[in-house]
Structure 1
Amino acid sequence: MLMQPEHSTMKSWCILVSLGLVCFLHDALSCPTLCRCYPRRPEVVCNMAPLTEYPSEGLPENTTQLTIMFTNITSISEKHLNATPLLRGLHLYVNQLQNLSSHLLRGVPLLHTLELTENKLSHLPLHVFKHAPLRSLVLKNNLLQKADADWISKDSNLTWLDLSGNLLTKIPTTLLQKLPRLENLDLSDNRLEKISANSLDSVTKLERLNLQNNKLDAVDASVFQNMHNLTYLFLTRNKLDKLPQNLFQGLAKLEHLSLEDNQLTHIPPGLLDPLDSLENDGLDLSANPFLCDENLQYLWRWLQKNKKKVFLPETVTCAKPQSLAGRSVLSLTETELNAQS
């Protein structure tokens, strides 16, 4: 009599295992048309152009990674994502997405990576990225003119935000104020015209900042003052013609700085002195129209002492005066510089 309950319990356990195995096999065999399913990961990849609607039907419920790319899907809703409640990574590259529903991520509470590179998104609804503990959000190469703070919840977990390749004209300050953990910010290939004071004050943990290929012609002297963890700073291909003398004060951890292809004619005395952590080849000053006169002596002396830290130092050349045009700054003598006073 004492053995019967134990036997009954074991029988029930075996049935549950069998049911679980049946469910697993059912998920393994289930896969939407035009997609490939990898049950062991568990991952689904859909990359067929004829796909025009989100493939909710047939998605294995235990899917944790979903990639949809090179399709003609134009919209995704909260209802679609409810089919995969265990989703951790959603990668939506090179589709035709124009619309995302509000509260899109409510049914995927474990999602930490969302990539929406190269779609047709011009506007996103409020609360679109709330409800999931996102750590990485990529909105690269879309048509966004504004980045709204109401996309995400306060005190977000985001450490990686990529807004490159859009139509932004301003740094999204109110959005950044909700990102205290942000480590990587990419705003390259937009239409930013200036970096205002305090616009980056909230992202004190930032390690990489990419502002290259914008229309920046001015940078406030205090803009980087709270970014003590910054190691990479890219300002390539802008319209900067001068830099504040104390711009890099406090950037003791900076290892790579790119100022290539701007409109710099001089480097103010002391500008580069705080950058003790620059690695070899860590500074790029090429493709600037330097005026090689007595006011360039600070840069000339710094280059003499820190040649190894400069990427292709021979490409730091004079644009004017005509007598020195094309000469490497390093090749000049102090007498030649003083002669151009």
Structure 2
Amino acid sequence: MSPWNGEANQSPEVLQPRLPLLLLLLLLSGTAILGFSWSPAGCVVWHSQNGTSVSCHSAPHFPSPLPADISHLSVEFSNLTELPADALQGAAWLRELHLSSNGLRELPATLLQPVARLQVLDLTRNALRELPPQLFQGAAALRTLVLKQNKLQVLEAAWLHGLWALRFLDLSGNGLRTLPPGLLSNLRNLQVLDLSDNQLGSLSPHLLRGLVRLEWLYLQGNQLRELHGDLLASQGRLSHLFLSDNRLAVVGAGAFHALRRLDMLDLSGNLLASVPRGLWDSLGLPHRELKEGVDLSGNPWLCDHKLGDLLSWLLRNQDKMFFLNNTRCARPKVWAGRSLLEAAREAEGWAGEKGSNLPSPLPA
């Protein structure tokens, strides 16, 4: 007997109500094959061989319970002001946690204890003013920590204890005004540090000691007035240095001497009129080409004989200079508005006139 005989004599009217259910089952089976499902509210759950990923936007609450094999969790734009202390309980395989664009004001001290394998934590655009001192004690695997655009006006060294594997730290866009000298001393694997767009007026010359693997340093958009000669003394691996849009008027002698691998330097938009002789000795040609370039534009350069060292360096490295036409003399009056490159070429031409009695084009 055929298994279909029971329905063979049914009318189309009897079969029609079952069609929506059949379509729903087909749809669910199709999404299961693709690895997608919808649950809980406001979240998409995706299953793969590497574990479960959960992505929530505008979720009414933090998803719970979490799948035991969860590897990626994103709860963003959900206006969460706080998290349960046990929010990550049972998520031992979690590797990435994204909590950006919420209203988080504080974090439970024990939040990360169940997720010892966590490698990425993104807390961008929240309302955090401080961190629990024990928050990262069990976070030995964490490699990326993003705290940008919160309300952190101060930082304490104890808040960052336990981050032995950290490679990327973003503290940009907070209200930071000062940093304790030992804040970063334990972050020996850090490669990228972003302190841009804060209110930092000065930096301790010892701030970066211990950061023996640092390659990218972002300090633009602060209120720095001086770059201490010892700040970068231990940064032999640094390749990118961003200091634009500060209030720098003084760069210490020898500030760049350790930077033998530097590929990019941005000093634009500061108050630099002159720099100490020998500052550029370790940068660019003839020793090593700056692969990505230098920006000195937007400074009120005083084009006198004291700038000769910079002008000679500029001629050797002009192909790597950004915005040459905006890198201009502000004083003296006779040179105001003319480019540094033009001043460098005239000074070189004067120096090349053997036996010339003509005065230097650059005033003493």
When the two structures are superposed, what TM-score results if normalisation uses the length of structure 1? 0.86
- Cα deviation, 1:299-338, whole Å, max 9, x if unaligned, reads 1111111111211222210112223222111112226864
Hey, what does 2:309 align to over in structure 1?
Answer: 298
Hey, what does 2:212 align to over in structure 1?
Answer: 204
Residue identity opposite 2:55 in structure 1 = V
Provide the rounded CA distance (Å) in 2 between the counterparts of 1:155 and 1:137: 9
Residue 132 of structure 2 corresponds to residue 121 of structure 1? no
Hey, what does 1:340 align to over in structure 2?
Answer: 363
Provide the rounded CA distance (Å) in 2 between the counterparts of 1:306 and 1:200: 28
- Cα deviation, 1:120-140, whole Å, max 9, x if unaligned, reads 111222211221221111100
Q: Return closer, same or farther for 1:315/1:221 CA change in 2, 3 Å cut-off.
A: same
Residue of 252, 262, 270 corresponding to 1:254: 262
Hey, what does 1:275 align to over in structure 2?
Answer: 283
Provide the rounded CA distance (Å) in 1 between the counterparts of 2:44 and 2:38: 10
Provide the rounded CA distance (Å) in 2 between the counterparts of 1:288 and 1:321: 14
**Count, aligned residues:** 314
Hey, what does 2:330 align to over in structure 1?
Answer: 319
- Cα distance, 1:39 vs structure 2: 1.0
- Cα distance, 1:202 vs structure 2: 1.2
SS of residue matched to 1:39:
strand
Unaligned 5+ residue runs, structure 1?
1-23
Report the more deviating stretch, 251-260 or 34-43.
34-43
Hey, what does 2:22 align to over in structure 1?
Answer: none
Q: Return closer, same or farther for 1:226/1:35 CA change in 2, 3 Å cut-off.
A: same
Provide the rounded CA distance (Å) in 1 between the counterparts of 2:362 and 2:193: 44
Hey, what does 1:229 align to over in structure 2?
Answer: 237
Provide the rounded CA distance (Å) in 2 between the counterparts of 1:160 and 1:178: 14
Aligned residues with identical type, % of pairs: 37
Residue of 282, 291, 297 corresponding to 1:286: 297
Q: Return closer, same or farther for 1:136/1:323 CA change in 2, 3 Å cut-off.
A: same
- Cα distance, 1:78 vs structure 2: 3.3
- Cα distance, 1:265 vs structure 2: 0.3
Hey, what does 1:215 align to over in structure 2?
Answer: 223
Contact 1:106 1:131 in 2 (8 A): yes
1:142-221 aligned within 5 A:
142-154=150-162, 156-221=164-229
When the two structures are superposed, what TM-score results if normalisation uses the length of structure 2? 0.81
- Cα deviation, 1:168-204, whole Å, max 9, x if unaligned, reads 1123432301211111111111111112221211111
Contact 1:164 1:187 in 2 (8 A): yes
Report the more deviating stretch, 116-125 or 147-156.
147-156
Contact 1:30 1:60 in 2 (8 A): no
Hey, what does 2:24 align to over in structure 1?
Answer: none
SS of residue matched to 1:174:
coil
- Cα distance, 1:224 vs structure 2: 0.7
Provide the rounded CA distance (Å) in 2 between the counterparts of 1:280 and 1:28: 45
Residue of 81, 92, 110 corresponding to 2:88: 81
- Cα distance, 1:154 vs structure 2: 4.4
Q: Return closer, same or farther for 1:271/1:238 CA change in 2, 3 Å cut-off.
A: same
Residue of 268, 272, 276 corresponding to 1:264: 272
Residue 54 of structure 2 corresponds to residue 44 of structure 1? yes
Dislocated runs of 4+, deviation >3 Å: 27-30, 152-155, 335-339
Hey, what does 2:112 align to over in structure 1?
Answer: 105
Provide the rounded CA distance (Å) in 1 between the counterparts of 2:342 and 2:82: 58
Contact 2:274 2:307 in 1 (8 A): yes
Contact 2:218 2:241 in 1 (8 A): yes
Q: Return closer, same or farther for 1:77/1:176 CA change in 2, 3 Å cut-off.
A: farther
- Cα deviation, 1:106-155, whole Å, max 9, x if unaligned, reads 01111111000011111222211221221111100000012222224346
Residue 71 of structure 2 corresponds to residue 61 of structure 1? no
Hey, what does 2:146 align to over in structure 1?
Answer: 138
Provide the rounded CA distance (Å) in 1 between the counterparts of 2:73 and 2:130: 23
Q: Return closer, same or farther for 1:281/1:255 CA change in 2, 3 Å cut-off.
A: closer
Provide the rounded CA distance (Å) in 1 between the counterparts of 2:147 and 2:337: 41
Report the more deviating stretch, 272-281 or 302-311.
272-281
Residue identity opposite 2:68 in structure 1 = E
Please give the root-mean-square deviation of Cα atoms over the aligned residues, in Å. 2.1
- Cα deviation, 1:209-234, whole Å, max 9, x if unaligned, reads 11111110112211111111111111
SS of residue matched to 2:311:
helix
SS of residue matched to 2:250:
coil
Provide the rounded CA distance (Å) in 2 between the counterparts of 1:322 and 1:281: 33
Provide the rounded CA distance (Å) in 2 between the counterparts of 1:326 and 1:337: 19
- Cα distance, 1:28 vs structure 2: 7.3
Provide the rounded CA distance (Å) in 2 between the counterparts of 1:299 and 1:203: 29
Report the more deviating stretch, 303-312 or 149-158.
149-158
Provide the rounded CA distance (Å) in 2 between the counterparts of 1:88 and 1:267: 47
